[in-house]
Amino acid sequence: MDCCVPGHVMLFTNKALWGLGLAATGVGVMYYLLRSSERRSHKTAFSGITLTTEAAALTNSSPGTLSPKHLDTLIHLLRDVDGQQAPHDDLTERILVTIANSAAFTASQNSIRELSGLPVIVRYVHSTEQRLQVQALNALNNLAMNVENQKHLQAYVIDVFQAGLEAGALEDVQLAALRVLTNVTVTGRIHDSFFTYLPAIWAMLQLQNTALQVQVLKLLVNLAGDQAMQAEMLDLEVSSDMLLSLLHEDSSEDVIERFLTLTVHLIPKPSQYELPARPGSLHCFLWAEQSLFLQKVYAFKNHLNPDISFRVGSILSGLNAE
């Protein structure tokens, strides 16, 4: 016996099948979208892993062999792209050390600047991790040996000051920051950025740390090559006891030599500064109240270190006190 299916039942069945087809299509689309999303996520994760692995390998390379492409990889990883987390601190430190070592080479100094690496490195100057601050400052120190980089680093002098001169800064950070500032002041191109910070720099001479004192004096000697800066220095309020302590017989020869060198820069023609001998100022200490200072200086006239004895002669001649 034939089985007859009513027409309206057949029509209902076709609609149901059509609906099921749409449903199946929808499921297929959803499945495709989910798989595509998974592939994109996997690709992103894989790229991150690849990039991190490559960076780790690059940190073991010789600094002089790093190409601009290699440096771009390292800078990219430091940049915290799209709000993603930067690499772990250990790898970050290794990357900064690698960039710093590479920045000892002129070609790399230019490449890092051209790859917009300077602001990326500066970001780590403000890190809460001291070791990252130090390595970022070391990188900037080497980059600052490049005259073109010095122009660009002028915008970040305040960042270096904040890292090295703020209250509570650790000695390693202070020393690294002072080295950067010393390098960027070699040419005199950005001396005008230092007027505001001159008292804070000078105050660091009071720190009982020979390495810091030597670096502060190196920076001050660079700045003293600028006549406008000389006038600012001479007008600084200073502690006579602190200055005399720098010339103590037990002081480091490096400290003595650098302080005498600074003095040589400041005494040639006092009349040219057109400054009154304000009580308590460096100008007053060198010219109006110079007896104790000259006694200290004169004691080094026959010093075995020829650089020290030579500078003593220059100072005594400049002060007409031979």
Task: Please tell me the distance from the alpha carbon of residue 217 to that of residue 213, in angstroms, as a whole number.
Answer: 6
Q: Mean per-residue pLDDT for 26-45? A: 38
Q: What is the mean pLDDT of the chain?
A: 80
Task: Using a pLDDT cut of 90, give the percent of the chain over it.
Answer: 52
What is the predicted pLDDT for the residue at 12? 41
Q: Mean per-residue pLDDT for 204-208? A: 91
| Residue 82's pLDDT band (cuts 50, 70, 90) | very low
What is the predicted pLDDT for the residue at 41? 37
Task: Please tell me the distance from the alpha carbon of residue 252 to that of residue 246, in angstroms, as a whole number.
Answer: 8
| Residue 276's pLDDT band (cuts 50, 70, 90) | low
Q: Are 158 and 118 in contact (CB under 8 A)?
A: no
Assess whether pLDDT exceeds 60 at residue 83.
Answer: no
Q: Mean per-residue pLDDT for 252-271? A: 87
Name residue 237's beta-bridge partners: 281
Task: Please tell me the distance from the alpha carbon of residue 6 to that of residue 180, in angstroms, as a whole number.
Answer: 93
Assess whether pLDDT exceeds 90 at residue 274.
Answer: no
Instruction: Quote the tokens at residue 76.
Output: 């990219």
H-state helical runs in the chain: 7-58, 68-78, 89-102, 106-114, 117-123, 130-143, 147-153, 157-165, 171-184, 198-203, 210-223, 227-234, 240-246, 253-266, 282-283, 291-298, 306-318
Instruction: Please tell me which residue, 56 or 230, carries the higher pLDDT value.
Output: 230
Assess whether pLDDT exceeds 70 at residue 8.
Answer: no
Instruction: Please tell me which residue, 18 or 200, carries the higher pLDDT value.
Output: 200
What is the predicted pLDDT for the residue at 4? 43
What is the predicted pLDDT for the residue at 52? 65
127-148 pLDDT tens trace: 989 999 999 999 999 999 999 9
What is the predicted pLDDT for the residue at 192? 87
What domains are there in the chain, each with its CATH number? Answer: 66-194 (1.25.10.10), 196-322 (1.25.10.10)
